[in-house]
A and B are shown apart, each in its own frame.
Chain A
């Protein structure tokens, strides 16, 4: 008990917020680009592909940091059902962060589309074209995208619940800047 963590390491907090912004952007770009034929379609899809591959690299780093630094414990007075929900939802968030870029890139491979990122970076295909694989991967990427967004909303709701109602230090453990547990704003 001598060395109990109260906050995530600074690099973990930084990565959390950076990825949060990127993931929300990805979800919006995703639904936006597939519903337009406007010229913006092309830059949007280029950003979506580039950011997707970047996020895949970032989640690997993030998992390594998590294994190295661990996470602060949840408040002792949190009901067991809520604790279980918190654990499962975080597992699911990591699952989405890993699965979505992989589904996205394999779906492009299975359609024989060259994967070209911002700056002309090419990623060679590791799968042959396949109607069946493409359909499966495309459906998974598309529908899991909506599930991911729903889970992000749930995560935001839980974060605000901890921050505004319970005020139990959970939000402070991931906040980018130290929070004062008072009503006066930090200077």
Chain B
């Protein structure tokens, strides 16, 4: 080896060059990894913002943590074929797997304290394609961008009442959601809720024609409004008990899947902006929920309802939320899979 004192003059310059190449590469790597950009909105930061003061729900989803599994079928009526070449729209029945849930980071939350209810769904087509989605019951999303959602979580977690006022001033789109949350009737059943995708996706038909769409699952069960106070009296886990009992006694529960097609110029990048009334809608099929299973050892536990798992014929639009949700859901999945021991699949035998 070269003795350090014996390096030729050009050798010294070469060593400096080598050090510069390595240092530059390491710095570029650190920058790409976000280590030099503390302001970057990472999935970790979003999950920190979701974490309640009582601590992370170990072994559970980091949001929509309370839920119950279902299995059933998606009955396509064939009407969707003209909109998208996805096989799942061809007339027929396809296996469906899903999860009713509450929009809270607390798996032990009292049902009547959670305004937003959701539904995660996976539909499997015959060709191996999967379509996953996660829908919620408000008709508009609370905010326009993933950054604003992060800001909302931070502001709503603060004790200072001014924090929400300041948030609403800089995110006026929140008003539509707030109005819904204040005025929309509550129900005492997951079966009586509509579930809206809110995000815009692009459907591609067999001829290559493209259109922006949103979709919803509209309940066929009769909606019986109930006051929040009355729901609270029925118990902390009433919704899960009710859906088990309803399916057991009344049989399968159904939702009609309705896709709404955007007109040119409709806002596709902002799920807080509803499209104008009168847009073309197409009923593409029916979700039939046939069996309810507890989440602990149920089939939905292992599924990340990542809304970017899409069949051929459906792809993301310029809506920034599906990508952000995919990134954060993935992190949430990684965490809860690693913490599976904190949420045993069989009820722990407690003395």
**Residue B324, interface by CB 8 Å:** yes
**Residue B33, interface by CB 8 Å:** yes
- The answer to whether B18 and A157 have CB atoms under 8 Å apart is yes
Number of chain A residues close to chain B: CB under 8 A: 38
Q: Which of A10-18, A95-103, A124-132 forms contacts with chain B?
A: A124-132
- The answer to whether B1 and A32 have CB atoms under 8 Å apart is no
Q: Which of A34, A120, A160 contacts B18 (CB 8 A)?
A: A160
**In the complex, what distance in Å separates the CA atom of A38 from the CA atom of B324?**
6
- The answer to whether B128 and A37 have CB atoms under 8 Å apart is no
Please give, as numbers and ranges, the residues of chain A lying within 8 Å of B33 by CB-CB distance: 31-32, 35
Please give, as numbers and ranges, the residues of chain B lying within 8 Å of A34 by CB-CB distance: 43, 327
**Residue B326, interface by CB 8 Å:** yes
Closest-by-CB residue of A relative to B8 is A165
Per-residue CB contact flags for chain A residues 66-103 toward chain B (1 = under 8 Å, else 0) read 00000000000001001000000000000000000000
**Residue B22, interface by CB 8 Å:** yes
Within 8 A of A (CB), among B109-165: 128-130, 146
**Residue B226, interface by CB 8 Å:** no
Within 8 A of B (CB), among A134-169: 134-135, 138, 149, 153, 156-157, 160-161, 164-166
- The answer to whether B337 and A37 have CB atoms under 8 Å apart is no
**Residue A41, interface by CB 8 Å:** yes
Q: Which of B180-188, B213-221, B274-282, B303-311 forms contacts with chain A?
A: B303-311
**Residue A5, interface by CB 8 Å:** no
**Residue A111, interface by CB 8 Å:** yes
- The answer to whether B14 and A36 have CB atoms under 8 Å apart is no
Closest-by-CB residue of A relative to B44 is A35
**Residue A113, interface by CB 8 Å:** yes
- The answer to whether A156 and B21 have CB atoms under 8 Å apart is yes
Within 8 A of B (CB), among A34-80: 34-42, 79
**Residue B334, interface by CB 8 Å:** yes
Please give, as numbers and ranges, the residues of chain A lying within 8 Å of B10 by CB-CB distance: 164
**Residue A179, interface by CB 8 Å:** no
**In the complex, what distance in Å separates the CA atom of A34 from the CA atom of B45?**
12
- The answer to whether A134 and B1 have CB atoms under 8 Å apart is no
- The answer to whether A161 and B18 have CB atoms under 8 Å apart is yes
- The answer to whether B337 and A131 have CB atoms under 8 Å apart is yes
Interface centre among A36, A37, A40, A138, by most chain B C-beta atoms within 10 angstroms, is A37
**Residue A118, interface by CB 8 Å:** no
A27-B29 CB under 8 A given contacts A134-B337, A160-B21 = yes
Shortest A78–chain B CB gap in Å is 9
Q: Which of A131, A160, A161 contacts B340 (CB 8 A)?
A: A131
**In the complex, what distance in Å separates the CA atom of A113 from the CA atom of B42?**
21
Shortest A124–chain B CB gap in Å is 7
Q: Which of A31, A38, A124 contacts B32 (CB 8 A)?
A: A31
**Residue B338, interface by CB 8 Å:** yes
Closest 7 CB pairs of A and B: A35-B34, A164-B14, A31-B33, A131-B340, A37-B324, A131-B337, A135-B338
User: What are 13 A-to-B residue pairs whose CB atoms are below 8 Å?
Assistant: A28-B32, A31-B34, A37-B146, A37-B327, A39-B320, A39-B323, A41-B326, A42-B323, A113-B306, A131-B337, A134-B337, A135-B337, A164-B11
